[in-house]
Amino acid sequence: MTLDPRDPAMGAQLVAARAAGRLPTPGLPPQTEARAVWVGCGESYAVWRLEAGGVSLSARLPFRPPEQMPRPMAAEFAALRLVPEKVGTRGLALADDDHNPFGQRYLLTTWTPGRVKPVERWGATDFERLAVQLARLHALRRPQAGLVDQPITPDRVNQPTVIAPNPVNQPVPAAPDLVADFDASLAWWRDHHPAALAQPEWSRLAQLTRRFVAARAEAGGRPRQFSLIHGDLEATNVVFAADDWPRLIDWEWAEYGDPARDLAYVGGRAAAGPWYVPMDQTQIVAFVTSYVRAAAARGVDHDLDRLLARRDAWEAYNHFFCGLHRDQRQAAQPQTYPEADLRALRQGLARLVAGA
């Protein structure tokens, strides 16, 4: 029986496996004693830091079975192999099934030191530097959206993506349609969690958010090219290194997609909790303008107004389904989140979409 990666005993098991040669540790000095330090866990992975001789790497160990992973581990690893130097975590080694000397799945990455900055402490320089980092990442482009390990095929069926608590190993559409995706995700929620959407507040927000997403998506149009994006760039997935430059972590949702998505999730007018930085319209325009300028320096041109419109659509789209998901988790496991943060998220979303 494999050990739950969240079990405190996993640290000793990682160290023993490394010493016995059953776990590769690229970059760690050989013949040097290692130690394992618990970092934490997210929606799918437990994370341990392996350190030896002053060098560290990150061991991401999934606790969900493969059929319940949001994306295949191989797709995340393929993205991590492309991340530019000093933009964020990079992939080192992958075992996406249990048939390996370690005996269970793992994804080893570089260790990205830094601190998550409280949302109230983000300033203009932070957003300017994040814009530069995203422009570096998004310079990796191709003409079709999809998981990084998905081939470009002209006949791939364009199916909507479902935003749900456990969207299982689904394909990413070749040309995302935000309204179709919103409708498909809403249908999933109605089928699987009808009580959540039956609440008057969420029922009203569903109508207002769809109208807002449709209007802003129409104004923004479709991207002409699709960039390598992080895909879940909330403020908690940005760490600031010793040089005070942002680095991106937790790439579970990475794909080739709309770069406006990465510009939307980190913050905006519907800010709440530790996840989203509060920004007014002037700050949003300044951030996206910095990004357009940094992208142009790399030979990638964007229409500012269209990019801003798509950014708005993605902000509402994400905050609606993430808010619904967090409320559903809170109902199942009380005190998962502070109630004030959940309430602020709903209220911020309501203000954002009210003028649609």
- The C-alpha atoms of residue 128 and residue 106 are separated, in whole angstroms, by 34
Which residue segments constitute the domains of the chain, with CATH numbers given?
Answer: 10-110 (3.30.200.20), 119-354 (3.90.1200.10)
Residue type, 148: V
Q: What is the pLDDT of residue 163?
A: 52
Interhelix angle 178-192/304-332, nearest 10 degrees: 10
Per-residue pLDDT of 212-229, as tens digits, reads: 999 999 999 999 899 999
Q: What is the pLDDT of residue 43?
A: 87
- pTM of the predicted model, to two decimals? 0.92
Is the per-residue pLDDT at 141 higher than 50? Answer: yes
Is the per-residue pLDDT at 157 higher than 50? Answer: no
Is the per-residue pLDDT at 156 higher than 70? Answer: no
- The C-alpha atoms of residue 202 and residue 84 are separated, in whole angstroms, by 40
- The C-alpha atoms of residue 184 and residue 7 are separated, in whole angstroms, by 37
Confidence of residue 176 (pLDDT cuts 50, 70, 90): low
Residue type, 282: T
Q: What percentage of residues in the chain have a pLDDT greater than 90?
A: 86
- The C-alpha atoms of residue 300 and residue 292 are separated, in whole angstroms, by 8
Per-residue pLDDT of 89-131, as tens digits, reads: 999 999 999 999 999 999 999 999 999 999 999 999 999 999 9
DSSP string across 55-101:
EEEEEEEE-S-GGG-SS-HHHHHHHHTTPPTTTB--EEEEE-SS-ST
Is the per-residue pLDDT at 170 higher than 60? Answer: no
Average pLDDT estimate for 325-345: 92
| Residue 236 DSSP SS3 | helix
Average pLDDT estimate for 198-209: 95
- Among 103, 121, 67, 72, which residue's Cα sits nearest to residue 240? 121
Per-residue pLDDT of 282-308, as tens digits, reads: 999 999 999 999 999 999 999 999 999
Is the per-residue pLDDT at 333 higher than 70? Answer: yes
How many residues in total does the chain contain?
356
Better-scored residue on pLDDT, 50 or 333:
50
